Amino acid sequence: MKVRAYVLLVFAGILTMSASTKKASLSEGNTPGNLAPRIESMDNGREVRFQNHSGKYTLLNFWAAYDAESRARNIQLWNEVNKLNSSEIEMISISYDKSPSVFSETVKADGLNQENQFRDEQGAESELYKKYGLKKGFRNFLIDDKGVIVAVNVSPKNLPEELRKD
């Protein structure tokens, strides 16, 4: 009887402690489960914050015209996002082309929405490049409305599935 009372007392204590513990805050990073690093200033002066609590995902894609694979993936992702409900997901693409004219001509040639296409003119020296760990190649990040990265390197084919997962 005493053992049972002791076990119940310990269980109640653990339950009380866990209920009163504050939820740990997320840290900024570039892997799933981390808060996505904020984008402070784009070439058009726009600041991007992913914590919008609107229920809308953001697909953040990094690419460059000189990298054929990332350019093709950018086009494919844009086409896939355009098939989906616009209240469900928005795509933002950031190019690392050094030349503004190469960037703008590529965006036009690829038939992309220019409003959500940006160029990081600092290239590999930029803070954004470093924060998102792009030294290992161009990547994309699916970010929920709380600003948390839920997937990295989503393929156009798997994008609808990734949206249903969360």
Question: What is the model's pTM?
Answer: 0.81
Question: What's the confidence (pLDDT) of residue 43?
Answer: 62
- The share of the chain scoring above pLDDT 90, in percent, equals 56
Q: Kind and range of the H or E element at 126?
A: none
Question: What's the confidence (pLDDT) of residue 5?
Answer: 60
Question: What's the confidence (pLDDT) of residue 55?
Answer: 85
Nearest to 56 by CA among 35, 86, 19: 86
Question: What's the confidence (pLDDT) of residue 24?
Answer: 56
Whether 70 and 63 have beta carbons less than 8 Å apart is answered as: yes
Distance CA 103, CA 109 (A): 10
DSSP letter assigned to residue 120? -
Comparison of pLDDT for 17 and 55, the residue scoring more: 55
Q: Is 141 left (phi over 0), alpha (psi -120 to 50) or beta?
A: beta
* Segment 32-59 mean pLDDT: 81
Least confident range of 15-24, 65-74, 152-161: 15-24
Distance CA 118, CA 112 (A): 11
Q: Does domain 26-165 correspond to CATH entry 3.40.30.10?
A: yes
Binning pLDDT at 50, 70 and 90, where does residue 16 land? low
Comparison of pLDDT for 63 and 25, the residue scoring more: 63
Mean pLDDT of the chain: 85
Highest mean pLDDT, choosing among 11-20, 22-31, 98-107 = 98-107
Question: What's the confidence (pLDDT) of residue 115?
Answer: 86
